Structure 1
Amino acid sequence: MAARRLLLVLLLLLCGLTSVHPISEVDALQAFKLGFAGDNPAFQSWDTTMATPCTWFHVTCGMGNQVVRLDLGNQSLSGVLKPEIGQLQALQSLELYGNNISGNIPRQLGGLASLQTLDLYLNKFTGEIPNELGNLSKLSNLRLNNNSLSGPIPMSLTTIQSLDVLDLSHNNLSGIIPTSGSFSRFTPISFIDNHLTYKNSSDSPSNNSAAAVPSGRSTSNIGAIAGGAAAGAAMLFAAPIVVFAWWWRHKPHEQFFDLLDEETPEVHLGQLRRFTLRELQVATDNFSPNNLLGRGGFGKVYKGRLLDGSLIAIKRLNEDRIGTGERQFLMEVEIISMAVHQNLLRLHGYCMTPTERLLVYPYMENRSLETRLRECSASQPPLDWPTRRKIALGSARGLSYLHEGCDPKIIHRDVKAANILLNEKLEAIVGDFGLARIMDYKVSHVVTGVMGTLGHIPMEYLTAGRTSDKTDVFGYGIMLFELISGKRGFDLVGLANEENARVHDWVKKLLEEERLEALIDPNLQEIYDGGEQGGVREEVRLLVQIALLCTQESAPSRPRMSTVVTMLEGVGVAEHWDAWKRTTTVLGSLEVGQSDSDARADSVANLPPDTLSGPR
């Protein structure tokens, strides 16, 4: 009888093993998708007939083509989170914030041993926080705020030593806030808008352990034999699965082609990171138009989000730049990366394939000066005068470093408000070096094809293609007019044309006739008109004078950017202004003489240096 029972047990085990197959990641994601209502555009590339989900939008794969990141934040998802998500065993980041997902948080999430980021905030989750989340020993970011979760905070969460970010605020949680373990370093703001209280808890985290271990250890001989047989059977049927997994991992898969390291020319790129094309495609949702930040003569700029959550801006060069040789492109990247200054946009990394050239920069939350001057809102009020003064000084320091702090010096060639970026403190960061040019310090100017933005191009560049650091000084002066007026350089040209004058002459006339209010940004008009802040009027006047010195028709007469910095710091404005006024009557003849000498210098046939390819 015992032998028959043992045989029956073995048969049942064998039948069970032959009927159970491990669920694939494609099947797990398909089940995950079915939890949400409607035909959401976020899933448009999710082709379940494919063997791997690694080419799907919002899905990132790592080693062995396993899913390591699922990023579907702010995708208007409504429905429930299916427990099959727990089958993605290599998952490191699950980001579903900003949707309308309801129902319970699946306890199966606690089985994702590699999970580091769990962002479920701004949804409609209900029920209790699963105790099993305490099993996520690698979890560093846990955000469950702004849901409708109830019940106590599981004590198991206090055992996660890697937890750096925790937000459980704005829920319906109740009970005691644990003060032991990893929770001791979190501030009360992590728990606000709940029904929680602080109290010294004597409960051990292990009291709420997610799993119970059976206490009984004695088994019958038949049970031991059955267990051994089951283990043997499991090994027998697991072997083909292991062999298949090894074969799948080592077989060739269709991948995005990138240049191999051994093909890379020997260029020293310091700490620059070399991104893969796949990384940047995932970060930008395959360069979705929804992530387009802007475009220029050398390409388009996209907003992206890396696996670690950091935001980046990616400059994707136009096709006509792809012909740039590998060595030339890498040398250009190297030169850009050497320009390091607090007022210059720092290059993070690059990507180079046979069909792509991409440059990666930090994302600027406050976008550009041009954007802030013309797109005001409740959350982004108009720039006040002290901030504008700070932006003028910061951008001047950045350009001064390019001209005099770099060897060889770098000319920007497209200085304007749109290329002055603003960081989180509204400090000026000179960016978009797409038209930049390297110059030997012994060369006064080079002859190039005219590139830039109408209204910011000086006459010697527009008519003869001659560019120098004084080209940037002119563009900076026009940028100061933009900063003061809130108008684009092109619009200022139109206003000046109405009086048959250049922008420089038109503004000079407004200054001489004491009519600068015609130039002032309406958002500044109130403080400019007087009251206790009447000093602003004099500061505006000084800034206009500096801008006029920078936009002189004679390039040699324009000040260097280091001199502009000194004047903005309050030294020498009056002296330079008086000297310019005294020599105004003779500048015309001097300009003619200088033009002739410059033309003779051009005949020396200096070879133009390489043109930089990317923005800063």
Structure 2
Amino acid sequence: METIHVAFILLSLIFLPNHASANLEGDALHTLRVTLVDPNNVLQSWDPTLVNPCTWFHVTCNNENSVIRVDLGNAELSGHLVPELGVLKNLQYLELYSNNITGPIPSNLGNLTNLVSLDLYLNSFTGPIPESLGKLSKLRFLRLNNNTLTGSIPMSLTNITTLQVLDLSNNQLSGSVPDNGSFSLFTPISFANNLDLCGPVTSHPCPGSPPFSPPPPFIPPPPVSTPSGYGITGAIAGGVAAGAALLFAAPAIAFAWWRRRKPHDIFFDVPAEEDPEVHLGQLKRFSLRELQVASDGFSNKNILGRGGFGKVYKGRLADGTLVAVKRLKEERTPGGELQFQTEVEMISMAVHRNLLRLRGFCMTPTERLLVYPYMANGSVASCLRERPPSQPPLDWPTRKRIALGSARGLSYLHDHCDPKIIHRDVKAANILLDEDFEAVVGDFGLAKLMDYKDTHVTTAVRGTIGHIAPEYLSTGKSSEKTDVFGYGIMLLELITGQRAFDLARLANDDDVMLLDWVKGLLKEKKLEMLVDPDLQTNYEERELEQVIQVALLCTQGSPMERPKMSEVVRMLEGDGLAERWDEWQKVEILREDVDLSPNLHSDWIVDSTYNLHAVELSGPR
């Protein structure tokens, strides 16, 4: 009995620290909940009687039951923040963007020394930026834009050497913008629309400083005029000089030819093109030769994929880092260098954990290249349909994470980039997987960026058959709802493992369009037949039905009836799907009763040809 008692004490001592930590963090988050106004009850699960906050919605913990993420972006919250948040010592992501939170930013946030991302943009915060934020030595993303912050920019922020993205625009900040430390490479876009800021990066000189003077324009020297009496002599002298130069250059030419015969060409023989001195934020500017060497001369053996914007090559930099190099087609930069620089800078500002991070670029008179991190696990499409036998299939929990992660990435492009970015080719092949099999949306921003209030009309439809929304195909007009349609098809790819368009299905008298094939099986009540055989029976049927419901809502014929990606995120998190699905069922029943179904396109590539009965899938249980 005494042995059991000792063992119990030891177990208590082992688990007590984690229990106490969770309790302290739970108390802090509950204090936050009390001070926030929550009209949509997104914090309903934050129950103070549950000691461990790891079971709460919008809270993520590590294996030691310590909070590492708080995701409350775009939740229509108001109120103010509390200093108790400073006890979340392991917090890495604090996402409170796009709410209506007021008051000052607590200085205690400077205690969150593991913080990687602080997103407080699009709120109503007032007061100064806390000096204590300079202690966040691991911070990479700091976005405080679109608030009402005042005062000067703390010099302490320049000490954050890890800082990659900074956005302080659209506030009421004043004083000089630091230009040392981590601030030395940030561009005016990070500080825009702060009328009282001054310094070189703002184009407004500070009081007492000399006015900025642009560099003098380059004027080529005038051609040297040669007197007529020296024309023949000059030509002879020039010919002799050229002959001598060729004679002395012969060994070098022979050496270069020999090097080209060598199997490991490192491009000593490739004429270098001048890279313009262009700096875009903290993006690295690669030389063309550097990327040629990294990709073995853009060798076909290093091609990772081909797309409408060009080819992607695997490369290894001089330091051993693996990268993916996208070599853009010339047609993708019709506006020349300035447009390319503008679009690259906008792409670089789109930073989210579920978006492929642009690492650098290369620009020469004839080449445009973008450099991204290499994703060793490939794309969702390759994992579904091209995986080697030694690689296990994607399990159901991983597929759910991919669905939610990619939805979050697209939602960020639509709602939190200004101007918004429309992807225009959402598909499984463009959803990449990092080392933890988290979804990373790639290939975004390469189509023209879209102004917040305007739709984008193109002369050529960009996209992939089976993923293209019907209105985009018929009108050439894209919007965020065309991305929603493509995302819905991608969800069906995740569930079925099949291609969005596959002529092989004709062999079984099935539909070549995945959407029609799925709807046909659901109409025949054959839910189990559409599930990817690789999943076998290792999935929750209720969860599967819910994901199918989201996919069908996203692929409705009318773009007006499709949800926004932010709503898709909420539905996948379990918020609002039942209501949206019930509403859709009622509309479908009404259409059947009064024969108001929309006219169907005769072209089977354009649109779906099936109408589901409203009772095919039950609502969330």
Matched, 1:508 2:519: yes
Conserved? CA contact 1:350–1:360, under 8 Å: yes
Matched, 1:259 2:275: yes
Q: Do the aligned partners of residues 323 and 445 (structure 1) sit closer, same or farther apart at CA in structure 2, a change above 3 Å counting?
A: closer
CA separation in 2, counterparts of 1:354 and 1:447? 26
Match of 1:521 among 532, 550, 553: 532
1:567 deviates by 0.8
Q: 1:390-539 alignment to 2 at 5 Å?
A: 390-433=401-444, 436-444=447-455, 446=457, 448-491=459-502, 494=505, 498=509, 503-528=514-539, 536-539=540-543
Letter of the 1:338 counterpart: M
CA separation in 1, counterparts of 2:410 and 2:416? 9
Letter of the 1:572 counterpart: G
Conserved? CA contact 1:422–1:428, under 8 Å: yes
Deviation string for 1:402-427 (max 9, x for gaps)? 00011111000000000000000011
Conserved? CA contact 1:411–1:469, under 8 Å: yes
Which residue of structure 1 lines up, in the alignment, with residue 549 of structure 2?
545
What secondary structure, in the 3-state scheme, does the structure 1 residue paired with 2:563 have?
coil
Letter of the 2:272 counterpart: F
Conserved? CA contact 2:333–2:340, under 8 Å: no
CA separation in 1, counterparts of 2:423 and 2:571? 21
Match of 1:298 among 286, 309, 326: 309
Matched, 1:339 2:350: yes
Conserved? CA contact 1:413–1:451, under 8 Å: yes
1:56 deviates by 6.8
CA separation in 1, counterparts of 2:507 and 2:452? 36
Q: Do the aligned partners of residues 493 and 443 (structure 1) sit closer, same or farther apart at CA in structure 2, a change above 3 Å counting?
A: farther
Which residue of structure 2 lines up, in the alignment, with residue 49 of structure 1?
255
Matched, 1:317 2:328: yes
What secondary structure, in the 3-state scheme, does the structure 2 residue paired with 1:548 have?
helix
1:298 deviates by 1.4
Conserved? CA contact 2:492–2:515, under 8 Å: no
- 4+ residue stretches of structure 1 with deviation over 6 A? 51-57, 587-592
Q: Do the aligned partners of residues 312 and 56 (structure 1) sit closer, same or farther apart at CA in structure 2, a change above 3 Å counting?
A: farther
What secondary structure, in the 3-state scheme, does the structure 2 residue paired with 1:580 have?
helix
What secondary structure, in the 3-state scheme, does the structure 2 residue paired with 1:278 have?
helix
What secondary structure, in the 3-state scheme, does the structure 1 residue paired with 2:372 have?
strand
Letter of the 2:255 counterpart: T
1:269 deviates by 1.4
Which residue of structure 2 lines up, in the alignment, with residue 380 of structure 1?
391
CA separation in 1, counterparts of 2:370 and 2:589? 48
1:447 deviates by 5.1
Q: Do the aligned partners of residues 442 and 381 (structure 1) sit closer, same or farther apart at CA in structure 2, a change above 3 Å counting?
A: same
Which residue of structure 1 lines up, in the alignment, with residue 558 of structure 2?
554
Conserved? CA contact 1:455–1:493, under 8 Å: no
Q: TM-score, normalised by structure 2?
A: 0.51
Deviation string for 1:30-74 (max 9, x for gaps)? xxxxxxxxxxxxxxxx9972499699764669xxx9xxxxxxxxx
CA separation in 1, counterparts of 2:525 and 2:474? 33
Which residue of structure 1 lines up, in the alignment, with residue 567 of structure 2?
563
CA separation in 1, counterparts of 2:507 and 2:446? 27
CA separation in 1, counterparts of 2:507 and 2:545? 19
What is the total number of aligned residue pairs between the two structures?
345
Which residue of structure 2 lines up, in the alignment, with residue 572 of structure 1?
576
What secondary structure, in the 3-state scheme, does the structure 2 residue paired with 1:523 have?
helix
What secondary structure, in the 3-state scheme, does the structure 1 residue paired with 2:536 have?
helix
Conserved? CA contact 2:343–2:445, under 8 Å: no
1:505 deviates by 5.0
Gap regions ≥5 residues in structure 2:
1-251, 600-621
Which residue of structure 2 lines up, in the alignment, with residue 361 of structure 1?
372
Conserved? CA contact 2:492–2:514, under 8 Å: no
Conserved? CA contact 2:465–2:501, under 8 Å: yes
1:353 deviates by 1.0
Conserved? CA contact 2:466–2:501, under 8 Å: yes
Which residue of structure 1 lines up, in the alignment, with residue 108 of structure 2?
none
Conserved? CA contact 1:57–1:282, under 8 Å: no
CA separation in 1, counterparts of 2:396 and 2:506? 23
Letter of the 1:442 counterpart: K
CA separation in 2, counterparts of 1:454 and 1:360? 27
Q: Do the aligned partners of residues 509 and 51 (structure 1) sit closer, same or farther apart at CA in structure 2, a change above 3 Å counting?
A: closer
Q: 1:92-241 alignment to 2 at 5 Å?
A: none
Q: Do the aligned partners of residues 541 and 51 (structure 1) sit closer, same or farther apart at CA in structure 2, a change above 3 Å counting?
A: closer
What secondary structure, in the 3-state scheme, does the structure 2 residue paired with 1:300 have?
strand
1:571 deviates by 1.5
Q: Do the aligned partners of residues 331 and 322 (structure 1) sit closer, same or farther apart at CA in structure 2, a change above 3 Å counting?
A: closer
Higher relative contact order (CA 8 A, sep 6+): 1
Which residue of structure 1 lines up, in the alignment, with residue 7 of structure 2?
none
CA separation in 2, counterparts of 1:57 and 1:585? 68
1:374 deviates by 1.1
Deviation string for 1:241-280 (max 9, x for gaps)? xxxxxxxxxxxx984112332xx5xxx6110011001100
Matched, 1:352 2:363: yes
Gap regions ≥5 residues in structure 1:
1-45, 66-252, 529-535, 593-616
Q: Do the aligned partners of residues 493 and 332 (structure 1) sit closer, same or farther apart at CA in structure 2, a change above 3 Å counting?
A: farther
What secondary structure, in the 3-state scheme, does the structure 1 residue paired with 2:354 have?
coil
Which residue of structure 2 lines up, in the alignment, with residue 604 of structure 1?
none
1:449 deviates by 2.3
Q: Do the aligned partners of residues 510 and 492 (structure 1) sit closer, same or farther apart at CA in structure 2, a change above 3 Å counting?
A: farther
Letter of the 1:313 counterpart: A
Letter of the 2:547 counterpart: L
1:319 deviates by 3.5
CA separation in 2, counterparts of 1:586 and 1:467? 29
Deviation string for 1:509-568 (max 9, x for gaps)? 43354311221111112325xxxxxxx111111111110000000110000001110111
Q: Do the aligned partners of residues 254 and 431 (structure 1) sit closer, same or farther apart at CA in structure 2, a change above 3 Å counting?
A: closer
What secondary structure, in the 3-state scheme, does the structure 2 residue paired with 1:490 have?
coil
Conserved? CA contact 1:413–1:437, under 8 Å: no
Conserved? CA contact 2:266–2:296, under 8 Å: no
1:305 deviates by 0.2
Conserved? CA contact 1:493–1:502, under 8 Å: no
Conserved? CA contact 2:265–2:296, under 8 Å: no
1:583 deviates by 1.4
Conserved? CA contact 1:403–1:410, under 8 Å: yes
What secondary structure, in the 3-state scheme, does the structure 2 residue paired with 1:49 have?
helix
CA separation in 2, counterparts of 1:363 and 1:281? 16
What secondary structure, in the 3-state scheme, does the structure 2 residue paired with 1:358 have?
strand
1:495 deviates by 6.2
Rg larger in structure? 1
Which residue of structure 2 lines up, in the alignment, with residue 614 of structure 1?
none
What secondary structure, in the 3-state scheme, does the structure 2 residue paired with 1:328 have?
helix
